[in-house]
Amino acid sequence: MRGRSVSDPSVDRWSRRDWWGVVLDCPDALALATFYSELLGWPLWKPETADAEGAALDPGEGVCGLTFQRDPGYERPVWPPEPGRPRMSMHLDFEVDDLTEAVAHAIELGAALSDFQPQDDVRVLLDPAGHPFCLYS
């Protein structure tokens, strides 16, 4: 990408200048960050600054991130899509070793299993803010 540094992967992650990430809008950033922190095992990044307005996770390696920001006008998306209703604009995918165990854990943390499941080896779940995400094996 023009205007973006390319870093050597052997450089310490905190010294690199090629970070990228996904930002999810939601009604409460800290609540959704806490859900994904517990789901993925990634701690909050700078937990002393995380609040309902904004929060991020630290995956512990690499140069990508998952961030959450409060949107006071947030409308929960509908899955599967329905005409005239808010649609998902993106979703997250996570590969797992044991699909049954991973789904049970996500539900225990507050996710909901979608009624619509388009594939046998993938489970579509909805996070507490309604964003669809997939677990697959």
Q: Which fold has domain 13-70?
A: 3.30.720
Is residue 4 pLDDT above 80, yes or no?
no
Quote the tokens at residue 121: 């080896």
- Could you tell me which residue, 68 or 21, shows the higher pLDDT? 68
- Could you tell me which residue, 15 or 105, shows the higher pLDDT? 105
Quote the tokens at residue 8: 């050597």
Considering only 1-10, 17-26, 47-56, 119-128, which range has the smallest mean pLDDT?
1-10
- Going from N- to C-terminal start, the domains of the chain cover 13-70, 92-136
Is residue 2 pLDDT above 90, yes or no?
no
- For residue 29, give the amino acid letter: A
Quote the tokens at residue 25: 């809008």
Cis peptide bond upstream of 80, omega within 30: yes
pLDDT band of residue 1 (cuts 50, 70, 90) is low
- Could you tell me which residue, 88 or 53, shows the higher pLDDT? 53
Q: What pLDDT score does 111 carry?
A: 98
The 10s digit of each residue's pLDDT in 31-80 is 999 999 999 999 999 999 999 999 999 998 887 889 999 999 999 999 99
Single out the residue of 32, 20, 13 nearest to residue 131, CA to CA: 32
Residues sharing a CB contact under 8 Å with residue 47, sequence separation 6 or more, in sequence order: none
Is residue 13 pLDDT above 90, yes or no?
no
Query: How many beta carbons lie within 10 A of that of residue 94, not counting itself?
Result: 14
The domain covering 92-136 belongs, at the CATH homologous superfamily level, to 2,3-Dihydroxybiphenyl 1,2-Dioxygenase, domain 1 (3.10.180.10)
